[in-house]
Amino acid sequence: MEGVISLSFANLTEVLALSGFRELGVSMQKVRRALEYVKREMDVDHPFATQRILSDGVELFWEYQERRRREVVLVNLVRGGQHVFPEAVMRYLNEIEWGRDAIASRWWPGAGEPGAGQVVVDPRRAFGSPVIVGTGIRTEDVFLRFSAGEQLSELADDYGLTLEQAEAAIRAEAQFLEPLAA
Residue 167, pLDDT score = 96
Q: What is the pLDDT of residue 70?
A: 54
Tell me what pLDDT residue 95 has: 79
Residue 140 is predicted with a pLDDT of 95
- In order of start, what are the domains of the chain with their CATH numbers? 1-94 (no CATH), 108-182 (1.10.10.10)
pTM metric for this prediction: 0.57
pLDDT at residue 47, rounded to an integer: 83
Measured distance CA(132)–CA(78) in Å, rounded: 38
Neighbours of 124 (CB within 10 A): 9
Q: What is the pLDDT along the chain (182 residues), one digit of tens a residue?
A: 566 677 788 888 888 888 888 888 888 998 888 888 888 888 788 888 887 777 777 788 777 665 555 556 777 888 887 776 544 333 335 677 888 877 788 988 887 777 889 999 999 998 889 999 999 999 999 999 999 999 999 999 999 999 999 999 999 998 887 666 55
CB 49 within 8 A of CB 103: yes
Q: What's the full length of the chain, in residues?
A: 182
CA distance linking residue 169 with residue 96, whole number of Å:
18
Rg (CA), the chain: 19
